[in-house]
Structure formats: C-alpha cells, structure tokens
Amino acid sequence: MKTLIKIGFIFGLCLALISCGSKRKVVTKKSKDNKKEVVLTPKGDDVTTPEVEEHVENTKPKRSTPSINSTADYVAYYSDIAQDEMRKYGVPASITLAQGILESGSGKGRLSIEANNHFGIKCHDWTGAKIYHDDDAKQECFRKYNNAKYSYRDHSLFLTSRRRYMGLFKLAKDDYKGWAKELRKAGYATDRKYPQKLVALIERYKLYNYDAEVLGKDVSDANKVTTTNDKHTVKKGDTLYSLSRKYKITIKELQNLNGLDTTELFVGQVLYVKPLPKDY
C-alpha cells in the first residue's frame, strides 16, 4: 500500500512539473560569482526583443527624461543624437539643437517631460500615442514618444518628407542663418522672430561647432564665424534698462537675445546687445 502511495505521489509531482514547463522555459546562466543559477523566463509572445521594442516605441510611452539643469546640460546630452541625425538626414546639428532648446525649454517643458516631444510636432496623421496641450489653440494634439531619441528622428523625417521644406536642403549644411530663415518661411513656426531666436542660440552656445565636426571641418575655423551680435560684459551698476539705452535696444529684445526670464544681472555676465538684421 505504501508503495502505491509513493508511486501516486511521484506521478502527481511529474504532472505538476510538466504543467509548469509548458508555461515557462528554463534558462541557465552564470551569476557574478560564477555559480550557475536558473532563471525562469516567459515563453512565446511575452518575450520582447530590442528589435520588436523599437517598432512599438510609440504605442507604449514611458518616461526616459535625463537630469538636465541648464541649456548647457541639454546641449551636452543631445549633441551626439543631433550629429547622428545630421549624418543620416542632412539637417544641421546646430539647427536641430537650437530648435530642441527653443521648443522644449531646454528639456523642461511639459511636452518634453511628459511626452518626450522636443520639437512641438503635432499629431497630423500620427497613429501612435498622443498628448493634448494648449498651443496656438486649446488642447491641441501632439505626438508622444517612448524616448526622446525618437523625437529627434521624427524631426528629421518631418523635414525631409514634406515638400514645403525642400528648399532647406538646397542650402549649405553650415549655413545655419539660411536654415533658420527658411524654416520660418516654410511655416515651421508662426513666431516672426523664430529665425532670430535660433541664430542667437546657435551663436551663444557655439552650436555651429557640431556642424563643423560632422562636415570634417576644423572647429577652430568654425569659431571664426562672424556673428551679428555684439557683446557686453556686465559691470557693477549695469541694468537692462541702462544697457537698452546704451545700445538702442529694448529690454524685451535683450531678454530674448540672452534667454533671460528676469531683469537680474551679475558682474562678469556676457550679454548679446545688438539685434539681428531686420530680414530675420
């Protein structure tokens, strides 16, 4: 009788193990101390490969925002991505970075934080994830990405796939002023000062250096670009009001040129004080 009970128990145990095996597969791998450990992984469609994940990046949004505290941090983090896009699609890295800074608030805007959308690209014919945000009108539809790098890729595709932007690609890749002006002309932004703002950012943060690297030019030559902005180093007693009178420029223009949110200045601060040409 005991023998029959043991046989029944063993038979039941085998059935249970077979049942478990149909749901999972066993993978043996070495741990850090070289001991073998058994890891149970899901079977079939539950396994997501990097290739599959790349194709569903727009249907399963998740936050992947790096820690960025300044515009300099933003440039340092995204410059490699912008240069890769320039190599693949011909959009100057300087323009891509300047647009990213301006459109995303240096990565601090709601669309960039909650949707990884750094260029304010609206839904249009988009079938992926979406976010609604007040822009030109209330609660407009914007594209939502799984990772910011897909936002950069979509920006490149957006420019290269639409006929109205074809004029951009007739310009030299290091003609950032021409690109800034043509973007506004083609209707990328409604702000008439959009080109001026892009050029100011490119020259302030020397973003043209990233174009020079991709084009195989000497960065020292790129630094010789003649800028259209004169500079002023803040001294004790300087205020935006006094500088506006000295350089015949409005306080608002000074703030826009230098990305200032307040009127506060500090000694040693370098400011752009000459407006860009009227044709911008």
The answer as to whether 20 is a domain residue is no
Please state, in angstroms and rounded to a whole number, the distance separating the CA atoms of residues 173 and 49: 36
The answer as to whether 12 is a domain residue is no
The answer as to whether 66 is a domain residue is no
Q: What is the pLDDT of residue 104?
A: 93
Specify the range with the lowest mean pLDDT, choosing from 112-121, 140-149, 226-235: 226-235
Q: Indicate whether 128 and 232 sit together in one domain.
A: no
User: Whole domain around residue 263: which residue ranges?
Assistant: 228-280
Q: What is the pLDDT of residue 124?
A: 83
Listed in sequence order, the residues at least 6 apart from 147 whose beta carbon sits closer than 8 Å to its beta carbon are 57, 64, 116
Q: Indicate whether 179 and 236 sit together in one domain.
A: no
Q: What is the pLDDT of residue 241?
A: 93
Q: How many domains does the chain have?
A: 2
129 residue type, one letter: A
Listed in sequence order, the residues at least 6 apart from 272 whose beta carbon sits closer than 8 Å to its beta carbon are 200, 203, 204, 229, 230, 231, 257, 258
Residue 73 pLDDT exceeds 50: yes
Stretch 212-216: mean pLDDT: 94
| Higher per-residue pLDDT: 175 or 35 | 175
The answer as to whether 21 is a domain residue is no
Q: Where residue 212 sits, what CATH number does that domain have?
A: 1.10.530.10
| Higher per-residue pLDDT: 271 or 96 | 96
Q: Indicate whether 125 and 181 sit together in one domain.
A: yes
Q: Indicate whether 204 and 252 sit together in one domain.
A: no
Q: What is the pTM of this model?
A: 0.60
Residue 228: how many other CB atoms lie within 10 Å: 16
Q: What is the pLDDT of residue 279?
A: 40
Q: Indicate whether 173 and 263 sit together in one domain.
A: no
Q: pLDDT tens-digit profile of 122-159?
A: 898 888 999 998 876 788 999 999 999 999 999 999 99
Q: pLDDT tens-digit profile of 245-278?
A: 988 889 988 888 777 888 888 888 878 887 654 4
Stretch 84-111: mean pLDDT: 95
- Average pLDDT of the chain is 78
Listed in sequence order, the residues at least 6 apart from 211 whose beta carbon sits closer than 8 Å to its beta carbon are 86, 92, 93, 94, 173, 174, 176, 222
Q: Indicate whether 167 and 237 sit together in one domain.
A: no
Beta partners for 122? 142
Q: Where residue 245 sits, what CATH number does that domain have?
A: 3.10.350.10
The answer as to whether 223 is a domain residue is yes
Q: Where are the beta strands (DSSP E) in 134-227?
A: 140-143
| % the chain with pLDDT above 70 | 70
